Structure 1
């Protein structure tokens, strides 16, 4: 995991996050008595938001569990639940974790606003909460994610590079993420900071959920409204939606696909990049993010300070000075597959270069 962190940092695009204050002590915000968990016999609730995006089940969950096991010599127990994009379900899952008296909660919120009451209930029960990947509202104790505006900037920059001198020769379609996900607004903000004034945005879409089928339907609508001859590029907020978009483009008879962006470096997305169907994705070092979350969770469960882990802090809409670690991101194209997802062990060559993609892998130098 150190290798993953070093590789991501070394190749990362320039990212920054201004510190809003110093890291707070882990016990400052949690109410109720603390148990002595110094021996490592702790229970950690891990709540992830959905399973439409491949990363959560394939990467985040096992990577987090591995780090927690390493830090506690296998003594800690991780209790896992996935909300499958339902905020009400996630609220019920928090209540179950409270009833089960977990020592700490790690929550990737389906809806960052709706989760606030659940986090308050956890804190009232003396359970500290780590916001994972999305900055949840409510009295959270710690937060780790990626520089989400930098994600959008990477996507927008790559799209402009792909379009080159033809950037204003037609329209681009902008397919943004879920309105319940605060990161989606940051992706969009970052992308627009690069794209506005340099391209013509013919259609813009926001969605309620991160679903490929929603992006597919919206892309069909955009093609109908704009005409396929006018569409020269597509901003897609993630790889899952990019898959739905590309399916719609093919069905509409595009003989040469316009450049399509993505995010998450999903296996299918990487394979589309190799084959030339998708122009780019954004690789985020999930090993580093999950490792940081594991460190935060174990420290909070033991009643330890976060000073040595979280050097920065951020403000949420409801909580000021949340101790935070922001992980850098990398623009992923054919040119750096070897130096990112392969080097970091996210995928193997055999996983990417199946018989269907073997010739494309050879041509791209993926090995």
Structure 2
């Protein structure tokens, strides 16, 4: 399995690298020679991935000769809109946007379009607007499938290996992020048959998307909901066996709540837990035997794709895409370059995260 996973990531990243080509701007770059400004808008600075993504794109655009205005929106749609308006007023020639609320930016994107400023949606679909040119993202429904399959495999669902049906709880991401529904849909495409057949039980009974969403992917909010669920539906003799969580920060909040309730001992082991983004603290948790696994989305490669798309738009060439059918934002189908995630656990984190240079082994100490 390790070889299969490593092969998948190698193949997927090699494809992206081949498509992206050189990081250098073409000699006849129209805007790079004029030091045109690129606006990059990320949703927050509370998740380390958005900081890294923003900085990676900024560094690459600067290496090509562009000026960069990088802003973080503090998970505030109004603030993000204001920041984008400022970039438009500063005569940005390109906007790269990872939205806090993908459906809340239509007005400001229309103003960008009025000034012929192309927009790239970065890892979060911009919805309800025609004023988005391209998207760079991961296959987020596949992320949900992989997270659900972790529970299926570790809990031996459908194998006849359980004396009684394991109990799980479901968590979803922020209702403002279209990816949250993609994660959920992917997960439920796997779990629904097992739930319907009684192979697994959701102890709280909460399975619909809206009740299980977690505002801003906030780990504290997820932990508070876990505490409430444990108090209402579980006891020392009736334990939760698995947690479907879409994001590492939420998973850590849930684990903290479980440990506060006495989980993490031989008689009351921590449940199987999923996650996403291979955040440093969650990788440490995986190594320590607490969080079970995470989904690794190599954002270094995603940043390269977005920069290639942006430079192509600015130099009059064709951006790379490999999906022109899937991403209907309610107004148009957004041409997209899709990258593929891989699962990381204690058995393969060294190969996928350390040897690839994504994390420094020294960061995992202490």
Q: Aligned residue for 2:358?
A: 346
- Equivalent-residue separation in structure 2 for 1:38 and 1:264 (angstroms): 32
Aligned to 1:142: 134
1:225 to 1:56, Cα distance in 2 relative to 1, 3 A? same
| Aligned match of 1:163 | 155
Partner of 2:202: 201
Question: Of 276, 280, 283, which residue of structure 2 is paired with 1:267?
Answer: 280
Asked if 1:95 corresponds to 2:100, the answer is no
Q: Which structure 2 residues correspond to residues 118-267 of structure 1 after superposition, within 5 A?
A: 118-137=108-127, 138=129, 139-164=131-156, 165-166=161-162, 169-198=165-194, 199-203=200-204, 204=206, 205-228=212-235, 229-254=238-263, 255=265, 256-267=269-280
Q: 1:316 to 1:282 in 2, by over 3 A?
A: same
Could you tell me how far 1:318 is from its partner in structure 2? 3.5
Please provide the CA RMSD for this pair.
2.0
Partner SS state of residue 224, structure 1: helix
Contact 1:47 / 1:90 at 8 angstroms: preserved in 2? yes
Specify the alignment match of 1:64 in structure 2.
Answer: 57
Query: 1:252-331, aligned counterparts within 5 Å?
Result: 252-254=261-263, 255=265, 256-306=269-319, 309-313=320-324, 314-331=326-343
- Contact kept, 8 Å, 2:102 with 2:125, in 1: the verdict is yes
| Offset at residue 300 of structure 1 (A) | 1.4
Report the count of equivalent residues.
Answer: 322
Distance 2:94 2:251 in 1: 35
1:7–1:96 CA distance, 2 compared to 1 (3 A): farther
User: Is the alpha carbon distance of 1:38 and 1:253 closer, same or farther for their aligned partners in structure 2, counting shifts above 3 Å?
Assistant: closer
| Deviation beyond 4 Å, 4+ runs, structure 1 | none
Question: SS at 1:222's partner residue?
Answer: helix
Question: Where does residue 55 of structure 1 map in the other structure?
Answer: 49
SS in structure 2 opposite 1:177? Answer: coil
Higher alpha-carbon deviation: 320-329 or 42-51: 320-329
Change (3 A) 1:98 1:7: farther
In the alignment, is the contact (CA less than 8 A) between 1:140 and 1:319 conserved in 2? no
How far did 1:8 drift? 5.9
Of structures 1 and 2, the one with the larger relative CO (CA 8 A, separation 6+) is 1
Question: Residue 308 of structure 2: SS of its match in structure 1?
Answer: helix
Cα shift readout 1:56-112 (whole Å, capped 9, x = no counterpart): 11x202221232234x1xx21110110111011111111111100101000001111
Higher strand share: 1
Q: Could you say which residue in structure 2 is the equivalent of 1:358? A: none
Normalising by structure 1, report the TM-score. Answer: 0.83
SS at match of 2:75: coil
Unmatched 5+ residue regions in structure 2?
1-5, 13-28, 195-199, 207-211
Instruction: Supply the distance in 2 between the matched residues of 1:81 and 1:319 (Cα, whole angstroms).
Output: 27
Q: How far is 1:178 from its partner?
A: 0.3
SS of the residue 1:317 aligns to: coil
Distance in 1 (alpha carbons) for counterparts of 2:144 and 2:329: 21
Deviation at 1:7, TM superposition (A): 6.7
Matched residues in 2 for 1:215 and 1:191: separation? 18
Q: Which one is further off, 159-168 or 45-54?
A: 159-168
- Residues in 2 aligned to 1:202 and 1:114: alpha-carbon distance in whole angstroms: 35
Worse-superposed segment, 232-241 or 37-46? 37-46
Q: 2 CA distance for matches of 1:226 and 1:169? A: 15
Matched, 1:337 2:349: yes
Tell me the CA shift for residue 11 of structure 1: 6.8
**Unaligned 5+ runs, structure 1:** 1-5, 13-34, 356-367
Q: Is the 8 A contact 1:52 1:211 kept in 2?
A: no
Structure 2 distance, partners of 1:243, 1:202, is: 20
What is aligned with 1:25? none
How far residue 10 of structure 1 moved from its aligned partner, in angstroms, is 3.0
Counterpart secondary structure, 1:121: helix
SS in 2 for 1:263: coil
CA positional deviation for 1:317: 2.5
Contact 1:52–1:210, Cα closer than 8 Å, also in 2: no
